[in-house]
A and B are shown apart, each in its own frame.
Chain A
């Protein structure tokens, strides 16, 4: 039935929005829906062929109707594809903003080096990137775009926390070794199992990335 697969894509898109991780790209469905559009288009061409470009809907209501249905189906499929890709693109953008290094992780998974806990962009257990190659490319380019825009506001750290700051200094506990990080006024070595009393602004990213746990 025309449109079934499109519906599936929209359902995927809807589900994606409420998932913490990006689920694997549905390349099969996308390909099928695209093929459906091409088939429909071929139908339209075939139907119109006998008329040699002089088709009058009023004379042939039945043909006109079937043409309209095919046109609507194509547009609907296009909207479904757009909705699906748009929803995923927004997720990818969100990851770029939150600082999960997306392209690198995708690569790591391709090299089968998927380490535990690093799999924000990974399909569950599959070890295959959940991004399509086009999406990986998009992620890289968006990352660059973001970096360029962020560069206008170096003192602000645009990707910083959107929680209003309460305290200048906070207690954080180190959950994973994060090595030495540069801060506004120096460097800190974050070793697992230690606790820090530091400037909140210096460690916000690491909290978001799960290296640190904020206390109270």
Chain B
């Protein structure tokens, strides 16, 4: 079942009432992305204020989720709630986890009651079994409950009816038996999970009735299928959803708001266009706006204003001075105890407060892709822009905080004057910035970059030890390039996988800690810069060397050499690269007045494990002006389905483990076969 937005707070009350008060009976499973991380922080804040013991466990992928099911969920008598943050929405979770309560099982397990599972996931489409299956948990604890950001309530009515009728064809007869069995191994396409309605006894008399029924079923089936066939897309960031829970409980404060802002900003960075959903009609916090993104930003803006009292004008300073200070970026706090969140005009540059203006422009994907920064002429264009603005390169190349005060003050005005000449409209837009006394001042986007960097690359130096082990494995791979001969390598691969996910989990905790520790955030700034440099460097190399191939159905870029190969073995890092490349290609094609854009597939070699990590991106996710609805739908990413279909129709050895449906792993030797299979699927909308 699902929990509509206005009822989130009563769901929380239900949780509080039924959770064990001295022993952790709540298991929080958290995906390894910034939004989920922020959501986990918000939820644990609430639980702590209520003295509700709980446990947090980060989860890298479906395989680990299976392990957790075996070790922590199955047969765990203390457990009452499993809360999935940023995972589980795409699969039938009740079939995946041992939540108990399934008829015979319950008798076997005897003492243990049912476990209730909450799904708080940003990924769409919802698996309809999660949303419309099993309503039995209404009274007590139990069942699967999806947090609805509005999608279900406003859009899924038809699908709900169709799904329910298909699952329980003659509801009276089958009401007591469990829903039909369906496959629950992760690498199976959602469309295949649609249960074939069991052959039912025809009503005694009417042949006509049967035909009518069959027609009806076909209609419902097509409703459900077309829901899944749209591809994958994203709903509202879950950190925002949990913030509205906190707000419904009257427990919102600046810390929680900041977490929500960071979570939502991170979605924008990694290209989770929330514009793929329609603007909310009403409800929730009473949002109005043109796009969903605007609505969410609007709410955040209002919350910032509400929770942070407007600045009292500085005594003694003239009104003139204060107005000019609002023109330049805020880089220091107003007082040692100043931890306010402020609205501020933010440039779409990278980490400008902590870098030089030049670097922060150079590494901005917004600016870079529009100026064609990968080419010599593109970089000249940047220099020319700066020259027109009257900014000398030597000034721009020193750290922003030390730049000439006059330049900083005039930056916005001059930028806005000259930006249109380069197609850079919208380079300044409203953003959020927070200070931690005199210890530092970061924008929400900065924090999102840093947290992302930590998740993908880890603390500096923590990976250096594992890097040193590269050589022996690489050399042995060079010796025997094709299939593993002795049984050892498979073992080695598994160990390597374990080591990799171990690293990712360690990164998760670094990021978790840094989220509320300004010093850790500051010290991780270089990590974020390294990641951006790697993206610029690799992206430039791919475009300059014309290594992005154009195939029939999609474009393809493969990263298998260069200094940054190991960086892009992390799917999220690779997704960021794909996003940068995608934007660059889009800009190029727009100049050539192309209307249709091929999607982009980026593969990156993980030498140690002998696999390619493959990411599929749909280009043009941004909603432009006309025909938003159509554009939105076409912006949905079809790669998830295509990957699964290829996995079934070819012999390529493929692993689908990531919660991100558009990420797969393909054995090094099978990449060609995989791509061939993929090109036969229609992945373009």
Q: Return chain B residues, CB-CB under 8 Å to A185.
A: 22-23
Contact assessment for B20 and A186 in the assembled complex, using a CB-CB cutoff below 8 Å:
yes
Confirm or deny: B422 has a beta carbon within 8 angstroms of a beta carbon on chain A: no
Question: Which positions 153-202 of chain A face chain B at CB distance < 8 Å?
Answer: 168-169, 173, 183-189, 191, 193-199
CB distance from A179 to the nearest CB of B (A): 10
Closest to B516 in A: A216
Contact assessment for A168 and B51 in the assembled complex, using a CB-CB cutoff below 8 Å:
yes
Digit string of A107-121 for contact with B (CB within 8 Å is 1, else 0)? Answer: 000000000000000
Question: Which positions 55-83 of chain B face chain A at CB distance < 8 Å?
Answer: 55-58, 71-72, 76-78
Given A191-B72, A193-B505, A199 and B78 contact (CB-CB distance below 8 Å): no
A104 to B173, CA, bound (A): 62
A189 to B506, CA, bound (A): 20
Closest to B517 in A: A216
Find B22's partner among A173, A186, A194, A195 (CB 8 Å cutoff): A186
Contact assessment for B53 and A196 in the assembled complex, using a CB-CB cutoff below 8 Å:
yes
Confirm or deny: B48 has a beta carbon within 8 angstroms of a beta carbon on chain A: yes
Given A173-B509, A188-B78, A197 and B24 contact (CB-CB distance below 8 Å): yes
Digit string of B491-526 for contact with A (CB within 8 Å is 1, else 0)? Answer: 000000000001001100100110000000000000
Contact assessment for B58 and A186 in the assembled complex, using a CB-CB cutoff below 8 Å:
no
Q: Interface centre among A185, A188, A193, A215, by most B CB within 10 Å?
A: A193
Contact assessment for A191 and B53 in the assembled complex, using a CB-CB cutoff below 8 Å:
no
Contact assessment for A194 and B55 in the assembled complex, using a CB-CB cutoff below 8 Å:
yes
Contact assessment for A187 and B53 in the assembled complex, using a CB-CB cutoff below 8 Å:
no
Contact assessment for B57 and A194 in the assembled complex, using a CB-CB cutoff below 8 Å:
yes
Q: Return chain B residues, CB-CB under 8 Å to A193.
A: 57-58, 502, 505-506, 509
Q: Return chain A residues, CB-CB under 8 Å to B502.
A: 193
Q: Return chain B residues, CB-CB under 8 Å to A199.
A: 22, 53
Contact assessment for A191 and B22 in the assembled complex, using a CB-CB cutoff below 8 Å:
no
Confirm or deny: B415 has a beta carbon within 8 angstroms of a beta carbon on chain A: no
Question: Which positions 67-116 of chain B face chain A at CB distance < 8 Å?
Answer: 71-72, 76-78
Contact assessment for A196 and B22 in the assembled complex, using a CB-CB cutoff below 8 Å:
no
Q: Return chain A residues, CB-CB under 8 Å to B23.
A: 183, 185-188, 198
A199 to B76, CA, bound (A): 19
Contact assessment for B53 and A198 in the assembled complex, using a CB-CB cutoff below 8 Å:
yes
- Interface of chain A, helix or strand or loop or mixed? strand
Contact assessment for B51 and A194 in the assembled complex, using a CB-CB cutoff below 8 Å:
no
Q: Return chain A residues, CB-CB under 8 Å to B44.
A: 197
Contact assessment for A196 and B78 in the assembled complex, using a CB-CB cutoff below 8 Å:
no
Contact assessment for B56 and A191 in the assembled complex, using a CB-CB cutoff below 8 Å:
no
Given A189-B76, A191-B72, A197-B24, A169 and B509 contact (CB-CB distance below 8 Å): no
A194 to B53, CA, bound (A): 13
Question: Which positions 629-644 of chain B face chain A at CB distance < 8 Å?
Answer: none
Closest to A186 in B: B23
Q: Return chain B residues, CB-CB under 8 Å to A197.
A: 24, 44, 47-48, 52-55
Q: Return chain B residues, CB-CB under 8 Å to A186.
A: 20, 22-23, 78
Q: Return chain A residues, CB-CB under 8 Å to B22.
A: 183-186, 199
* Residue contacts A-B, CB under 8 angstroms, 20 given: A168-B51, A169-B51, A169-B53, A183-B22, A186-B23, A187-B77, A187-B78, A188-B24, A189-B72, A191-B72, A193-B502, A194-B58, A195-B509, A197-B24, A197-B48, A197-B54, A197-B55, A198-B53, A199-B22, A215-B513
Give B residues with C-beta under 8 Å from A.
Answer: 20, 22-24, 44, 47-48, 51-58, 71-72, 76-78, 502, 505-506, 509, 512-513
> Can you name 15 extra interface pairs (CB under 8 A) apart from A169-B51, A188-B24, A195-B509?
A169-B53, A183-B23, A185-B22, A186-B22, A187-B77, A189-B71, A193-B58, A194-B55, A194-B58, A195-B55, A196-B24, A196-B53, A197-B24, A197-B47, A198-B24
Minimum-distance CB pairs A-B, first 10: A186-B23, A185-B22, A194-B57, A195-B56, A193-B505, A196-B55, A197-B54, A198-B53, A197-B53, A186-B78
